[in-house]
Structure formats: structure tokens, C-alpha cells
Amino acid sequence: MAAVALLPRPRQLEAGEPPRAREQPRVEALHGEVRADPYHWLRNRADPEVIAYLEAENQWAEAGMRHTAELQACLYREMLGRIKESDLTVPYRYGGWWYYTRTEAGRSYPLYCRRRESLEAPEEIYLDQNALAEGRAFHALGGMDVSPDSRFLLYLEDLTGAREYTLHVKDLATGAVVDRIESVWTGTAWASDGRTFFYVTADSAKRAHAVWRHVVGAPRETDVLVFREDDVLYNVSIQRSRSGEYVLIASEAFTSSEWWVIPAAEPASAPRVVAPRRPGVEYSVEHGAEWFYIYTNEGATNFKIVRAPTEEPGPAHWRDWLPHREDVFVEGIEVFRRHAVVTERADGLRRLRVVDLATGEAHHITFPEAAYGVFPAENPEFDTEVYRFTYSSLVTPISVYDYHLRTRELVLLKRQEIPSGYDARAYEVHRFLAPARDGAQVPVSVLLRRGTPLDGSAPALLYAYGAYGITVEPTFNSHVLSLVDRGVVYAIAHVRGGQELGRRWYDDGKMLKKKNSFFDFIDVALELIRRGYTRPERLAAMGASAGGLLVAAVANLRPELFRAIVADVPFVDVINTMLDASLPLTAQEWEQWGNPRDPDHYAYMRSYSPYDNVEAKAYPWILATTALNDSQVMYWEPAKWVARLRALKTDRNPLYLRTNMAAGHTGASGRYDRLKEIAFRYAFVLDAVGQGLGG
């Protein structure tokens, strides 16, 4: 590649002159259209000019935000003050040990601890992530797995943020790492003998595609390939059933599934398929006693649960255990020796259905608030009468409960402490339905400080995700209080693409219906304005990853509706990414976004892809963030988008690109550095809507 000329770095620039990447034309034809990609060269991270450009943009962002330094420091102190720096999680029992995680003030990472039999027994720190991360700019754990006899620990370590994992086997009796396997993927499962385990590897596009069997201490070249998936639409995962009787292998695409089982006591036996894959049929498997409980969409748009004998689990033997219901979306099932807990969603809210497996008697765990989130917690033991979950709402801090499945007693074990002080009575939660242009009703959750005027004068931040069927729950976020306490209305738009209102809500926000997500967001913004929560010049939008795509698309569609846009690790170069099957996620996501080699898919993507639709017009304030080692949304997507915006936009509003040069998709790994990143984003929003230190 020829060297690409750049303007000098910001410290050498005249005041007010941003860095500009020069264009290097790259033209290709697709479906009769000639497409120009003038910033394609930014994909080459080995080119010093690329790094120089990213660093120049970083310096420009820092210079442009320098006047908010005091505000950023204030936000950081506030958010840190709401965190109990020295804290521990509620212990859970597994294999005769009590496990918990502990944090200490001043240390960025947790300590993983356990005590034998009793909580009064001496503490054993079986993994100190601070020690592992010492001297490193980034450190993440991709998973941990203790052997059934409690002797060995498997842990996956990522040192770059690029999801490149090394598997370590630690002997917990001696503290020594006794085995190491490089270049693995997430997912492990132990056999019953406590010496044999299964792990996953990925192909060159970071698609999990193979399962291997390994014996602790044996050379890697002796590992046995147990399962391999060659269809690029499918990803492989592995787990041990809660009962401990099976190792479960899943090969799943967005619209089809196939599960295989291996008796954990016979790890060398060949995998046995539960049900061969069929187009459009998704399913997953849980084991309980002599039955497999199978969560599936076969003939059930909102999913149902069937049961089949473990010896004959095929579809011919599937019998409805929890039938399909049009008004209830089934999200999953957890099976224990005597009970099952089904996660369901009705009227947009999650509930827990408890079933006695002997009698079939069922009841629901109920919750008091009108909008909330409830999530399964650690429940590793099969033979138990107690189910643990977490609960929170926009005003209720995260609370850990034990529910006694037989007696129905609900016990609060811990509620998140806010050391600097917190009074839920100072806030209000509103929930309403916003009318979409096609007649759909979009749920909206709103948090505001009591007494905030509803005359359009308040600033607001509207957040959404809207993809992959991921539901954004209205849960507690202590960081957001730094905005709300400054008079900002915080709103969540539960747009199509998530599953807040069932499977159809998801299906209506993907593929050739993806633009519903964008239109829903715009229509929610209009409804917030109509109801007096805010007005356009005081309204900001925020989204990350696929949510970054959403807010970037909205910036093209209705730029005048928003004062500011924060697009974190945004998926904005849709067509170019979906044309390149060598990139992580691309091939599998042809069933999520479409394949641009299909003319109809291409035309639809072309109509909304943010990078391809930048125009010569005025845009809101824009902050885009990315990370050099991001393997899910490559850094060059927001870099190219910002370069094109800078070349074409007609306004003088701030436009910043901020790249973390030592992290991946989720940003900084240490908790203190992460808070600083959030403070930067919030300062940008507050500055834009006139609510900074002097606002």
C-alpha cells in the first residue's frame, strides 16, 4: 500500500483545525453499482500512518475535551463513591466448597476465593487476577471451571482484548500451573474423573468450530478431536450439565441448532446427537434425571419446552411439557433434581415459573415494581431446594435473593451498597408505550429525579441496543445517577430487534426489517419530546456495538432531532464487513443482517449502512469510541465513519474519535480505568446539552 499522507498531528495544528485522513480511492462494483471506499486503507494496522491517524484523533479528542477535565474528575469521583471498593459477592456452594469473589480498594481486579465446607473455614484465594494482570495494559478472563473433585482449575486468559485465549490448568492443592494450552476459545467442560476435560478452538475468523478432549498433563498433540463444525453459519459451545451426568455440545446458528451429548463418566465415548439440525428449528438441552428438557421453537414462535427420554431424545419422542402460548415468551429453563425454574416474559417483563417435577404443580415468583430486571445467579448444584437470582430496577440497587422452592420463602441475602449515599425516594420511574409509525407500541423506561420539569426544558439521554434478540432490562445503574442528579432524563427505548415483547419483536428488527429498530428509536425520541421530557437541542443518544449502528443510522436519518450522539464501538461499515467472510462474526451473521452478495439484501443494507449514507449536511455533536484490538467490531469501522463525516459534514459541531490502543470490544479491563472512560462519555453528553459544571 502506498503511504497515505496525513495532516500533522493536533499538537502542531492551528487552533480549530482537526486531523483529516486523506482519501485514497478504492472502487469496486457490486450489483451494477460502483462503490467508492476512500478510507479502506485504515484497515491496515501495520501501516504506521494508520496508527498515526488514530493517535492524532485521540489527541484531537483530548484537546477538544480539555475544558471538561474538572467535570470528568468530578464524575469519576462520584461514580467511584457509589462503589464499595472492598466488597465480596454472596458465597455459593459447589462440591463441598463455598465460592465467592472479593475486591479490595485500590486494586483493579477481583480475587477469587473459596472456603471448605463452612464460611468460618480459612479463606483460600485460588486465583488473584491482580497478580496475573500486573504490568499489563489489558487483562481479561474468558472463563473459569473447577473440576468435580475440586482439585483443578481451568481458566482462560486474554492479554490483548482480541479474544485470543490461553487455557491454564492450575492445581489448587499446590498452587502450581500444571498445564497450558494456547490458542483456544471460550468454553470448557470436565468429565467425571476430574482429569479429563473438553475445550473449544476457533477457526481463522474466530468462529468456534471444534471440540477437543484433553487429559491433564498430556501433550497437546495427543488431544482427540471430538466434534468439528464446518458450516460457517454455526458456532460451537460446550458445557457440563448441572446434573453432572453429561457433557453437552451445541452447534448453533441464528435460525437452527444441533446438540450432542457425551456421558461425563465415559469421556472417550462418541457424541450422540439429540436431534439433527433442521432449517428454522432452534433448541437447547437441559438434563434432569431420566429426561432431557428441550427448549425449542418448533411449531412455537414464542418457544415452548418439551421432554424426551435420555435414551431416545429424538424429535419423535418430544412431548410438550410447557406448551406454546401466544402471550408468553419462554426464555429458558434450569432443571434441578426436584424442581425446574422457567424464565418467561409477559407484558414485556420477566418472571420466574417454578415447577415441582414430581407433581407438575407450578407457581410464579412475583415482583413488586412495574419495571425491573431479574436474572438467574449462580446455581451450580443439582440437588438443591434453593434457587438464587438477582433483582433490580431503575431505582432499586442490585439485590441477591434465595428462593426456597418448596416453602416459597424469599430471603434477601444482599443489596448493593452505595457508600456515598442513596435515597430511592429522590427518583421517579416512568414506563409508557410510544407509538411507532407502523402502529407498533414501543416500550419506554424512564428514570428522572423527582421534581424534574416536564415542560421540555430538561436535557435527556436516550439509550437503546435493538439487535440479536438481546433484551435491555430496566435495571439499576449507579453510574447513570451522575447524569440524573444533574437534571438529565435517562430513557431506554426497548426497540424492535430485542425480545422485550417476544420473538416477533426480535424478528421484526433484523434482516430486511432492520430499519424498524432505527424508526422505533426516532419515534420514541419524538414521543419523549411530545410528552415534555426534553426538546431536540437538549436530547442526546447513546448506543454501543449494534446499538452504535442504531444511533449512527439515526444520525443520518434525523440529525436535527438530537443534540449529541455517542456511538461506542459502533458497527457502522455494514456492507464492507458483511462482504468479508474472513472477519470474525461475518458469516454467521448473514442470518442476522443479510448477505450483501444477495441483490435484495445489498439494496436494503445500502439504504441504512451509516458509513455509506454520510452526506454533506449538518450533524449533531458526535463521539465515537473504539479499541485497536476489537475483534467483534473492527477499529476501522468507526475510524472510517469519522473520516467520512469530517470530510462531508457542513457544521462545526464537535466530532471526536477516541481509540483505546490496548483493549478490545468492551474497553478498559480494570475497573478504575473503565470508570474514567465512562466519565469521558458522560462529560461529552453533559457538555453538549449545556449541563456541565456551569450548566
Q: Is 545 a catalytic residue?
A: yes
- Residue labelled with grid coordinates 461499515: 573
Do 248 and 236 touch, CB atoms closer than 8 A?
A: no
Three-state DSSP string of 443-507? EEEEEEECCCCCCCCCCEEEECCCCCCCCCCCCCCHHHHHHHCCCCEEEEECCECECCCCHHHHH
Upper half-sphere CA count for residue 487 (Cβ side, 13 Å): 19
The helix (H) or strand (E) run that includes residue 641 is: helix 636-648
Distance between CA atoms of residues 18 and 58, nearest Å: 11
**Nearest CA among 545, 636, 630, 659 for reference residue 140:** 630
The SS3 assignment for 220 reads: helix
- State the CB neighbour count (10 A cutoff) for residue 169: 21
Distance between CA atoms of residues 349 and 370, nearest Å: 9
Question: Cα dist. 226→8, 198, 252, 267 in Å?
Answer: 54, 9, 17, 10
**Nearest CA among 541, 587, 530, 543 for reference residue 564:** 541
The SS3 assignment for 536 reads: helix
Distance between CA atoms of residues 372 and 351, nearest Å: 10
- State the greatest distance between any 2 C-alpha atoms of the chain, in Å, as a whole number: 78
* Residue-by-residue DSSP string for 108-138: SS-EEEEEESSTTSPPEEEEEHHHHHTT-S-
Helices (H), strands (E): how many in the chain?
A: 11, 38
Q: Is 108 a catalytic residue?
A: no
Tell me the one-letter amino acid at 425: R
List CB contacts of 105: < 8 A, sequence separation 6 or more.
85, 86
Distance between CA atoms of residues 170 and 153, nearest Å: 5
The helix (H) or strand (E) run that includes residue 550 is: helix 546-557
- Residue labelled with grid coordinates 453533559: 686
Q: Which of 545, 609, 631, 669 is catalytic?
A: 545
Do 315 and 298 touch, CB atoms closer than 8 A?
A: yes
CB burial of 4-26 (b: ≥16 within 10 Å; e: otherwise) equals: beeeebbeebeeeebbebebbee
List CB contacts of 405: < 8 A, sequence separation 6 or more.
336, 338, 339, 341, 354, 356, 384, 385, 386, 387
Q: Which of 145, 508, 630, 687 is catalytic?
A: 630
Q: Which of 523, 665, 669, 687 is catalytic?
A: 665
**Nearest CA among 612, 557, 636 for reference residue 36:** 612
Distance between CA atoms of residues 452 and 206, nearest Å: 47
Do 555 and 651 touch, CB atoms closer than 8 A?
A: no
Distance between CA atoms of residues 152 and 300, nearest Å: 42
Q: Is 665 a catalytic residue?
A: yes
Phi-psi map region of 468: left, alpha, beta (phi>0 left; psi -120 to 50 alpha): left
- Residue labelled with grid coordinates 421453537: 297
Active site residues: 545, 630, 665
